[in-house]
């Protein structure tokens, strides 16, 4: 992968190079498309140049075809939206037949997001997709809130999260990013368990479980009653999670996700400790959001005299005063 | 699929609705009846998502060449903002999106059924059908006369037209579906097209199915992207052989569907006299996704 050019070389023309190296996975820019907002890139590819995108995280693939939840599946909320899709996808067989050839030819690094209801299902899907050309890693979606039972959200339990991520990492031999939820008491504990189990990196964060009610009809706005909240509304929570985890687990590559729609949002996540970011909901409004954010990030780096996004990672400064014991504890 | 910055040519009232005309030559060039566009509403107003609008008119020739017209009702913050758009404003538009209505081969008697502003895309379709030598009949209805969309245009385009209002303030008193049976018989309709509230579409589809007449409906479902990537706007569609079903995207495989293939019961909840739901076996997604034939 990209031996020719080091990750920190500037591109010709003096613009800072945007290439990033997630501990061995080199991406052209640190701005990827988040799972569930891009499919595998085919539809967006008719509107934008996919080779300008830092990477694509596919819509989650499950072992069997999954029909998903009843409509309405979406409700717009202040500065965000709720969705309750329920992991609808055609299953790994169809993925290999329909999406794999596209991915192989797309010219963009792809992480396959995988989901399942058991460890065995995750492993089986990972084993099937690992040899697809263009696939640089797996994102284990262990935090989708739109599942039948809360105990299927493996990322709510450190030991279960570790078991899934460990099995997928060991058997697939692909780098695995564990996608975690902020809907837990202590995200650091879950992140630590995943890394100890063999996770290559972490994707922080998934949507947050939310709910909206139509006060005229007295009914929930979503067919599934609850759904995942995304968009700018959750951005500060993502920044907090990335910050907490990065401080506790230095050196572990983190992809920051949550309400990114500008270079400022991306820089914030990088400063908090992410090595890359994913753009999700903003893609719906603006299909080229990933590219615009990357361009903006290049300008931002120039303005600050920096030569690589890596120079931002985790560089958030301490407040200009002696941190007291209380905030120290919270930060860790 | 094209993304374009489009100048607003005009915004005006049409009964209780708003009609927005945009300068959009590339999109207009490719637009077909039944397709829609996604219009961005400004950020910074706590609104994230584009709004979908079916295409009412796309002028490819003549004095207004290269324009696109959409019709909408103010139902929320997005449409309220759009209703305030001024001439020469620029809107960010993606389109044309989705699959269009199919036009039958050979001469045919076509019945077009529109409810409320759902009638808007049917005028585009009617022009297309007329241009291809089909017979066009229409039933246009709404709650009251303010909501009957462009009745004069209907008279101009259709060989025959029935207007209905629930309050009797214009045309016949009742709903469009009350006049469907007699109209199908009188016009010897060979194909039925419908656009309007989903409950109306269901009733029209059931009528047509009972008479073994092909029926195409343009549906509406909550949609986040309109581009095929978010999977929010799905409709349960039966496999061709009736065994199994799949949630199919209204934005990509629709919004026009074969009315007989929609599993209305599952989509809109139990109703009367509906197709028997298939067994809950493993759906062959491939089959249902094969969808309808290519555009007519």
What CATH number is associated with residue B92?
Answer: 2.40.30.10
Whether residue A261 and residue B43 make contact (CB cut-off 8 A), yes or no, is yes
Q: What does residue A168 show for φ and ψ, rounded to 5 degrees?
A: -65, -45
Q: What is the mean pLDDT of chain A?
A: 92
The confidence score (pLDDT) of residue B271 equals: 67
Dist CA A68 CA A83 (whole Å): 12
Whether residue A90 and residue B286 make contact (CB cut-off 8 A), yes or no, is yes
Mean pLDDT of A220-233: 96
With tokens 């005299």, the residue in question is A305
Distance of CA B33 to the CA centre of its chain: 8
Dist CA B174 CA B180 (whole Å): 11
Nearest to A74 among B40, B224, B229 (CB): B224
Number of domains in chain B: 3
Percent of all residues in chain A with a pLDDT value above 90, rounded to a whole number: 87
Chain A residues bordering chain B (beta-carbon distance below 8 Å): 36-39, 43-44, 46-47, 59, 64-65, 67-68, 70-76, 78-81, 83, 85, 88, 90-91, 94, 231-232, 261, 281-287
- Residue A7's pLDDT band, with cuts at 50, 70 and 90, is very low
Mean pLDDT of B12-25: 93
Same domain, B11 and B91: yes
The confidence score (pLDDT) of residue A330 equals: 58
Nearest to B285 among A65, A281, A282 (CB): A65
The confidence score (pLDDT) of residue B294 equals: 33
Mean pLDDT of B96-118: 94
Question: Hey, what are A55's tokens?
Answer: 């990477």
Whether residue B227 and residue A44 make contact (CB cut-off 8 A), yes or no, is yes
Same domain, B249 and B190: no
The confidence score (pLDDT) of residue B77 equals: 85
With tokens 């504890």, the residue in question is A329
User: Is the pLDDT assigned to residue B269 strictly greater than 90?
Assistant: no
Same domain, B181 and B116: yes
- The three-state secondary structure class of A98 is helix
Instruction: Look at residues B143, B92, B96 and name the one whose alpha carbon lies nearest to residue B117.
Output: B143
Is B43 within 8 Å of chain A by CB? Answer: yes
Same domain, B245 and B203: no
Summarised one tens digit per residue, pLDDT across range A242-265 is 999 999 999 999 999 999 999 999
Q: Please confirm, yes or no, whether A144 is among the known catalytic residues.
A: yes
Helix (H) or strand (E) holding B18: strand B17-23
Mean pLDDT of A191-197: 98
- Residue B276 or residue B50, greater confidence: B50
Instruction: Look at residues A308, A307, A282, A306 and name the one whose alpha carbon lies nearest to residue A293.
Output: A282
- Residue B149 or residue B270, greater confidence: B149
Is B30 within 8 Å of chain A by CB? Answer: no
Chain A CB contacts of B47 under 8 Å are 76
What CATH number is associated with residue B157?
Answer: 3.40.50.80
Is B48 within 8 Å of chain A by CB? Answer: yes
Dist CA B51 CA B35 (whole Å): 14
Dist CA A201 CA A91 (whole Å): 25
User: Is the pLDDT assigned to residue A8 strictly greater than 60?
Assistant: no
Is B81 within 8 Å of chain A by CB? Answer: no
Summarised one tens digit per residue, pLDDT across range B208-260 is 999 999 999 999 999 999 999 999 999 999 998 878 999 999 999 999 999 99
Domains in chain A: boundaries: 20-68+88-211+229-331
Distance of CA B260 to the CA centre of its chain: 16
Question: Hey, what are B24's tokens?
Answer: 């959009």
Alpha-carbon distance B99 to nearest alpha carbon in chain A (angstroms): 14
List of residues 6+ apart from B40 with CB closer than 8 A: A285, A286, B50, B91, B92, B93
Same domain, B92 and B170: no
Write out the residue range of the structural domain in which residue B116 sits: 109-218
CATH of segment(s) A20-68+88-211+229-331: 3.20.20.70
Asked whether residue B15 is domain-assigned, the answer is: yes
Q: Determine contact, residues B245/B278, Cβ cutoff 8 Å.
A: yes
Summarised one tens digit per residue, pLDDT across range A145-185 is 888 777 779 999 999 999 999 999 999 989 999 999 999 99
Distances (CA, A) of B174 to A128, A188, A259, B142, B180: 58, 63, 48, 9, 11
Question: Hey, what are A112's tokens?
Answer: 């396959």
Asked whether residue B294 is domain-assigned, the answer is: no
Question: How does DSSP classify residue A99?
Answer: I
Using only the alpha carbons of chain A, give its radius of gyration. 19
Dist CA A99 CA A104 (whole Å): 9
Same domain, B118 and B55: no
Asked whether residue B225 is domain-assigned, the answer is: no
Whether residue B234 and residue A39 make contact (CB cut-off 8 A), yes or no, is no
Dist CA B205 CA B217 (whole Å): 8
User: Is the pLDDT assigned to residue B292 strictly greater than 80?
Assistant: no
Chain B CB contacts of A284 under 8 Å are 48-50, 224-225, 227, 229-230
List of residues 6+ apart from B58 with CB closer than 8 A: B27, B28, B31, B67, B68, B69, B96, B124
Summarised one tens digit per residue, pLDDT across range A49-85 is 999 999 999 999 999 999 999 999 999 999 999 999 9
């Amino acid at each position: 992968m990209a031996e020719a050019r080091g990750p920190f070389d500037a591109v010709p023309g003096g613009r800072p190079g945007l290439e990033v190296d997630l501990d061995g996975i080199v991406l052209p820019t640190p701005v990827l498309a988040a799972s569930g907002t891009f499919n595998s890139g085919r539809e967006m590819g008719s509107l934008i140049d996919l080779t300008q995108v830092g990477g694509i995280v596919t819509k989650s693939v499950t072992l069997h075809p999954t029909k998903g939840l009843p409509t309405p599946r979406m409700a717009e909320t202040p500065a965000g939206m709720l969705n309750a899709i329920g992991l609808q996808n055609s299953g790994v067989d169809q993925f290999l037949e329909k999406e794999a050839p596209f991915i192989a030819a797309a010219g963009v690094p792809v992480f396959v997001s995988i989901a399942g209801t058991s460890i065995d299902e995750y492993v089986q899907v990972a084993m099937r997709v690992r040899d697809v050309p263009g696939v640089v890693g797996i994102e284990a979606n262990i935090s989708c809130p739109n599942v039948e039972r809360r105990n299927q959200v493996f990322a709510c339990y450190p030991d279960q999260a570790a078991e899934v991520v460990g099995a997928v990492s060991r058997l697939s031999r692909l780098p695995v990013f564990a996608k975690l939820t902020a809907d837990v008491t202590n995200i650091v504990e879950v992140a630590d368990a995943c890394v100890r189990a063999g996770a290559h990196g972490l994707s922080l964060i998934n949507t947050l479980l939310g709910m909206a009610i139509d006060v005229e009809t007295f009914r929930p706005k979503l067919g599934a009653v609850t759904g995942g909240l995304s968009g700018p509304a959750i951005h500060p929570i993502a920044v907090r999670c990335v910050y907490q985890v990065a401080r506790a687990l230095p050196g572990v590559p983190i992809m920051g996700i949550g309400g990114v729609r500008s270079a400022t949002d991306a820089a914030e996540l990088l400063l908090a400790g992410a090595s890359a970011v994913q753009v999700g909901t903003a893609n719906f409004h603006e299909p080229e959001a990933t590219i615009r954010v990357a361009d903006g990030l290049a300008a931002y780096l120039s303005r600050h005299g920096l030569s690589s996004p890596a120079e931002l990672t985790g560089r958030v400064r301490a407040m200009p005063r002696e941190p007291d014991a209380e905030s120290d504890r919270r930060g860790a | 699929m094209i993304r374009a910055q489009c100048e607003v040519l005009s915004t005006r009232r049409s009964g209780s609705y708003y009609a927005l005309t945009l300068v959009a030559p590339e999109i207009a060039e490719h637009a077909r009846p039944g397709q829609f566009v996604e219009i961005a509403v400004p950020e910074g107003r706590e609104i994230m998502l584009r709004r979908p609008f079916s295409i009412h008119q796309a002028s490819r020739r003549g004095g207004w060449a290269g324009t696109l017209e959409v019709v909408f009702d103010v139902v929320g913050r997005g449409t309220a903002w759009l209703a305030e758009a001024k001439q020469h404003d620029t809107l960010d538009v993606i389109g044309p999106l989705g699959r269009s209505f199919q036009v039958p081969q050979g001469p045919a008697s076509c019945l077009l059924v529109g409810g409320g502003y759902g009638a808007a895309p049917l005028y585009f379709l009617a022009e297309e059908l007329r241009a291809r030598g089909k017979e066009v009949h229409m039933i246009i209805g709404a709650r009251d006369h303010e909501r009957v969309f462009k009745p004069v245009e209907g008279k101009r385009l259709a060989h025959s037209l029935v207007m209905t209002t629930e309050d009797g303030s214009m045309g016949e008193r009742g709903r469009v579906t009350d006049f469907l049976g007699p109209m199908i018989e009188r016009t010897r309709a060979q194909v039925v097209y419908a656009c309007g509230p989903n409950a109306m579409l269901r009733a029209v589809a059931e009528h047509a199915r009972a008479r073994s007449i092909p029926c195409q409906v343009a549906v509406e479902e909550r949609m986040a992207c309109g581009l095929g990537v978010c999977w929010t706007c799905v409709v349960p569609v039966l496999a061709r052989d009736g065994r199994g079903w799949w949630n199919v995207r209204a934005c990509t495989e629709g919004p026009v569907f074969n009315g007989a293939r929609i599993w209305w019961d599952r989509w809109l909840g139990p109703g009367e006299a509906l197709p028997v739901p298939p067994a809950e076996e493993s759906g062959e997604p491939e089959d249902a996704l094969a969808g309808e034939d290519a555009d007519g």
